[in-house]
C-alpha cells in the first residue's frame, strides 16, 4: 500500500479531492480562516509525513498541477483587458502607488527580518515574498536565497493576504475599493487576487491582478538595486 501511495496519478487525485473537501468545508462554515489552500497544504503535508511518501514523489504528480500556474497567470490578461479603460484613466496614480508599495515592501521585509535576527539566506528568501511564485523563486535564486523557502513563504503570504487583507484595508482606512483591491494584489499576488475576485467580482479582480503584475515587474527590476543599498 505504501508503494501505491507514491503513484503520481493517485497523488493528483488526492490533491483534487483534498482541495474539493477544503472548499466545501469553507462553503459550509464560511470562516475566512478556512482558506482552502491552507487546509489542503496542511492535510497533504500530514499525509506525506505519516505515509512516508517523499516530497520528490509527491512532485511527480504535483508538478502537473503546478504546471497550470503559468497559463493561469497568462489568463489574468482577460480580466485585465476588461478593465483596461478604467485603468488607462489613472495610469499615473497606479504606477506611483505600485512603486511606493514595492519599495515599502522590500525595505520593510528586510528590516523586520534583520531586526528579529534572520540569517542572510532567510532574508534573501523573504525579500520577494509579495510577488507570485514563479517570479519570487527566480528573484530568490538570483539573490542567493533558498527558493523552496521562498515558495512556501509566498504561498503563506498569499493565504494570509486573502484571509486578513480585507480587514487590513479597512484598518488602514482605505476607502476606495479600487485602492483596496490594488493593495491586496500588490501584497499577496495571485492568491490574494483570487480572494478579491471571489469577494468583489471582476472589477476587484482586475485591479488586484494589476497590482500583482506591476509589483512583480517592479520587484524583479528593483530588488537587485534596492537590496545592495540596504547592505546586501
Partner 1 sequence: MNLIMQCAVLFGFLAAGEMIVWLTSVPVPSSIIGMILLAASLQSGRLRLNQVEQFADFLTRNLGFFFVPAGVGVIRCLGLIADQWVPIVMATVVSTFIIIAVTGWTHQWSRRTAKRFRRHG
Binding track over 192-211 against partner 1, x by CB under 8 A: -xx--x-------x---x-x
Integer Cα distance of 188 and 18 in angstroms: 23
CB 186 within 8 A of CB 102: yes
With 0-12 / 13-18 / 19 or more C-beta atoms within 10 angstroms meaning exposed / middle / buried, residue 189 is buried
Residue 6-45 contact track with partner 1, rule CB under 8 A, x = bound: ---------x--xx----------------xxx-xx--xx
Cα separation of 197 and 201, whole Å?
Answer: 4
# binding residues, partner 1 (CB under 8 A): 110
* Of residues 118 and 226, the one with the C-beta less far from partner 1: 118
Applying the rule CB under 8 A, the residues between 92 and 131 that interact with partner 1 are 92-94, 96-98, 100-101, 104-105, 108-109, 112-119, 122, 126, 129-130
186 binds partner 1 (CB under 8 A): yes
**How many other CB atoms are there within 10 angstroms of residue 134's CB atom?**
16
For the bound state, the minimum distance from the C-beta of residue 69 to partner 1, rounded and expressed in Å, comes to 5
Minimal distance in Å, beta carbon 37 to partner 1? 5
d(CA 194, CA 134): 17
- Residue list 122-181, contact with partner 1 (CB under 8 A): 122, 126, 129-130, 133-135, 138-139, 142, 146, 148-149, 151-161, 164-165, 168-169, 172, 174-176, 178-180
Least distance from C-beta 166 to partner 1, angstroms? 10
Q: Are the C-beta atoms of 158 and 37 separated by less than 8 Å?
A: yes
Q: How far is the CB of 199 from partner 1 (least distance, A)?
A: 13
Per-residue DSSP letter, 131:
S
Residues 51-80 within binding reach of partner 1 (CB under 8 A):
55, 58-59, 62-63, 65-66, 68-80
- Cα distances (angstroms) measured from residue 194 to each of 12, 51, 64, 147, 178: 22, 31, 20, 23, 15
Amino acid at each position: 500500500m505504501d508503494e501505491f501511495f507514491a503513484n503520481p496519478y493517485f497523488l493528483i487525485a488526492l490533491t483534487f479531492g483534498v482541495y474539493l473537501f477544503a472548499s466545501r468545508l469553507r462553503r459550509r462554515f464560511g470562516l475566512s480562516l478556512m482558506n482552502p489552500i491552507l487546509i489542503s497544504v496542511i492535510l497533504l503535508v500530514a499525509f506525506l509525513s505519516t505515509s512516508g511518501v517523499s516530497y520528490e514523489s509527491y512532485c511527480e504528480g504535483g508538478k502537473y498541477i503546478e504546471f497550470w500556474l503559468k497559463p493561469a497567470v497568462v489568463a489574468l490578461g482577460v480580466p485585465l483587458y476588461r478593465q483596461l479603460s478604467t485603468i488607462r484613466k489613472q495610469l499615473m496614480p497606479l504606477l506611483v502607488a505600485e512603486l511606493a508599495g514595492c519599495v515599502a515592501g522590500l525595505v520593510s521585509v528586510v528590516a523586520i527580518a534583520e531586526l528579529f535576527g534572520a540569517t542572510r539566506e532567510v532574508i534573501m528568501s523573504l525579500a520577494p515574498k509579495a510577488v507570485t511564485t514563479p517570479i519570487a523563486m527566480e528573484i530568490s535564486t538570483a539573490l542567493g536565497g533558498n527558493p523552496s523557502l521562498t515558495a512556501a513563504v509566498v504561498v503563506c503570504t498569499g493565504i494570509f493576504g486573502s484571509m486578513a487583507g480585507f480587514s487590513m484595508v479597512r484598518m488602514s482606512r482605505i476607502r476606495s475599493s479600487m485602492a483596496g483591491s490594488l493593495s491586496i494584489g500588490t501584497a499577496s499576488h495571485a492568491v490574494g487576487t483570487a480572494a478579491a475576485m471571489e469577494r468583489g467580482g471582476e472589477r476587484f479582480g482586475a485591479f488586484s491582478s494589476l497590482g500583482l503584475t506591476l509589483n512583480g515587474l517592479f520587484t524583479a527590476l528593483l530588488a537587485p538595486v534596492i537590496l545592495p543599498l540596504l547592505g546586501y
